[in-house]
Amino acid sequence: MTDRSLRERSGEVSADAADLALGARIREYRKMRRMSLRALGEAAQASPGFLSQLERGQVNSSIGMLRRIAVALGVTVADLFDQDSAPGPKVVRRADRPTLHTAPGSRKFLISQRPLGHLEVYSGEFDPGASTGDDAYTHGDSQEILLVISGAVRVELDGTAHELDAGDSIEYRSSVPHRVVNSHETPAEVLWIISPPTPD
C-alpha cells in the first residue's frame, strides 16, 4: 500500500491534495538540483512523461519508484512527504542549530538545513589548543571555503600550514587532506562553505 492510500484511509488529506503536494516537492527538488525531467528519469529509471504527470499530481507512484527518485534527487523518501522540508526561507536560531560530533574542545554546527541543496554550511568553534582531530581528513571532492569569523587558526592542507586571522579565508578541494588547529590562547570561530554537498 502506498503512502497516498494510507493517508486517504486515515482521512488526513484527500488523494488530490496529497498527489499535488508530493508532485510539487519532487519538482522543487528537481529544479533545485537543476535536473531536467530526462536526467531525473535516467537516474530513477522512469520515463520523463511519467515524471511530468507525477509532478502535476496526475498519477500515483510506488514506494520503490519514490525511493529511486529520492536517491536521484539526493533526499530521502521522508523528505518527499515532509511539508516542512519544501524549499523557502528557513530561520535557524543559534540555540537550535544541529550539533555534530567533533574532537574535544571543538564544536561544529550545521547551518544549512537538510535536505541539502547546492551547498552545505557549518559553523565551528575551537577552544585554545583544540583542533578538528589529530589527523587530516578528506570528504568527497567539492569546493570548500573556510572563513575565520573570530580569533585565529592554522589550516593544514596536505602538510602545508596556513595561518589565518579573523576575516581571512582559504579555498581548497575537500579531497585534499585538511585539518584546522587553534594554537592560540583565545577561542576561534570559523565557517565552512562546501559546494556541492559531500557524502555523509
Topology at the third CATH level for domain 3-85: 434 Repressor (Amino-terminal Domain) (1.10.260)
Residue/partner pairs of 33-36 with CB below 8 Å, 24 or more apart: 33/73, 33/74, 33/117, 35/72, 35/73
pLDDT confidence of residue 11: 41
- Ordered by start, the domain boundaries in the chain are 3-85, 94-195
- How many Å apart are CA 65 and CA 46, to the nearest integer? 8
Better-predicted residue by pLDDT, 1 or 160: 160
> pLDDT class for 91, splitting at 50, 70, 90?
confident
SS3 helix, strand, coil % of the chain, rounded to 5?
30, 25, 40
33-44 tens-digit pLDDT: 778 999 999 999
Radius of gyration, CA atoms only, the chain = 21
Q: Are 143 and 171 in contact (CB under 8 A)?
A: yes
pLDDT confidence of residue 51: 94
- How many Å apart are CA 197 and CA 200, to the nearest integer? 9
- How many Å apart are CA 21 and CA 86, to the nearest integer? 10
- 76-94 mean pLDDT: 74
Is pLDDT of 90 > 70? yes
- 72-93 mean pLDDT: 75
- Label residue 9 exposed, middle or buried (CB < 10 Å: 0-12, 13-18, 19+): exposed
pLDDT confidence of residue 80: 83
Cell of 43: 537516474
94-147 tens-digit pLDDT: 898 889 888 999 999 989 876 666 788 999 999 999 999 999 999 988 899 999
CATH number of 94-195: 2.60.120.10
Average model confidence (pLDDT) across the chain: 86
pLDDT confidence of residue 189: 98
pLDDT confidence of residue 32: 76
Cell of 197: 554537498
Task: Report CA-CA distances (Å) from 22 to 61, 72, 73.
Answer: 10, 16, 14
pLDDT confidence of residue 124: 96
The residues, any chain, with a CB within 8 Å of residue 102's CB and separated by 6 or more, are: 108, 124, 132
- Label residue 95 exposed, middle or buried (CB < 10 Å: 0-12, 13-18, 19+): exposed
